[in-house]
């Protein structure tokens, strides 16, 4: 039986694993049942889009749920002022290896590059458009790997909930006691700590400005194709346009800003919205003339 304090985390992980499984199914379907028969570059690029999404989401699952933090105790006196705006503040720094996040973000941007590449090559005749639209996402993906760590990560106040599995391991029990938690209690309240996490101008530019632009641009590509096309092409493009719109809404729900405004419960919505988007995209891929 799943302990009560792990139920919500288990449900979220299960939902994301379901989404990743669907990514793999779509990859195999598009590669072996669509592209192998028609040699349509769009189907191949869409297959690569889904497999890179699966890889990227795998790294994010590790970062969000399975990464073990390094807990660095601090002197309480140096941070006593923190207890005024943050009454639950505890003097410790929680740091995680940044590579799970960096690799997850890298593969997510590679997926954007491939869907733009396939769409532009199949549906647009302008050579300049074909050769340039997919380049910026590849550059962003490379930057996320090559930029120095201190340009993507920084220290900031964050809330943590220490009932997550990584914190229940034996090496951390003495730190839990030191931080004011009872390691034998099934309930751990939220605490504010200094967390080492993605932050800074470059992070905000990539994850909020550029990601927002492409989350609008990719669906608009399909809506433009629907506007220009007729019959089956129009219906396929509309379904995929609505599918990618729904997908990016699901991605946006995960953003820290959205969670701060609406509450942690929205993290349940993200995988469900993404799953709905995959159904719409699949319908668009499979749509044929009646």
- Percent above pLDDT 70 for the chain: 75
Residue 185 or 58, more confident: 58
Q: CA quadruple 218, 148, 165, 66: dihedral positive or negative? A: positive
| Segment of 28-42, 71-85, 243-257 carrying the highest mean pLDDT | 28-42
pLDDT score, position 288: 64
HSE-up of residue 47 (Cα within 13 Å, Cβ side): 17
How buried is 201 (Cβ within 10 angstroms: 0-12 exposed, 13-18 middle, 19+ buried)? exposed
Q: Per residue in 186-205, pLDDT tens? A: 455 556 777 888 888 898 89
Tell me the per-residue pLDDT of 95-128, one tens digit each, with 9 for 90 and over.
888 899 999 999 999 999 999 998 888 777 778 8
Residue 182 has pLDDT above 60, yes or no: no
Per the document, the length of the chain is 290
Report residue 265's pLDDT band, with 50, 70 and 90 as the boundaries.
low
Rounded to an integer, what distance in angstroms lies between the CA atom of residue 144 and that of residue 109? 9
With a cut of 60, say whether residue 170 has pLDDT above it.
Answer: no
Residue 169 has pLDDT above 50, yes or no: no
């Amino acid at each position: 039986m799943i302990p009560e304090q792990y139920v919500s985390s288990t449900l979220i992980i299960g939902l994301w694993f379901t989404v990743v499984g669907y990514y793999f199914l779509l990859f195999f379907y598009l590669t072996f049942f669509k592209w192998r028969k028609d040699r349509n570059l769009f189907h191949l690029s869409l297959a690569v889009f889904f497999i890179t999404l699966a890889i990227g989401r795998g790294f994010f699952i590790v970062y969000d749920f399975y990464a073990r933090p390094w807990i660095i105790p601090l002197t309480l006196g140096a941070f006593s002022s923190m207890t005024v705006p943050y009454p639950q503040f505890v003097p410790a720094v929680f740091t995680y290896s940044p590579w799970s996040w960096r690799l997850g973000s890298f593969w997510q941007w590679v997926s954007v590059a491939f869907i733009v590449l396939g769409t532009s090559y199949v549906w647009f005749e302008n050579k300049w458009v074909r050769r340039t639209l997919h380049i910026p996402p590849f550059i962003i993906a490379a930057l996320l790997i090559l930029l120095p760590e201190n340009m993507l990560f920084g220290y900031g106040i964050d809330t943590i909930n220490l009932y997550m599995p990584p914190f229940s391991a034996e090496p951390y029990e003495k730190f839990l006691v030191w931080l004011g938690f009872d390691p034998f209690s099934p309930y751990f309240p939220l605490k504010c700590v200094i967390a080492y996490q993605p932050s800074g101008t470059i992070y905000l530019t990539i994850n909020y400005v550029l990601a927002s632009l492409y989350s609008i641009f990719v669906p608009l590509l399909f809506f433009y194709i629907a506007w220009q096309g007729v019959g089956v092409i129009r219906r396929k493009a509309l379904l995929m346009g609505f599918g990618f719109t729904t997908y990016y809404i699901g991605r946006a729900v995960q953003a820290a800003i959205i969670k701060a405004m609406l509450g942690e419960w929205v993290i349940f919505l993200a995988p469900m919205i993404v799953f709905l988007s995959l159904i719409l995209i699949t319908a668009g891929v499979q749509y044929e003339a009646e």
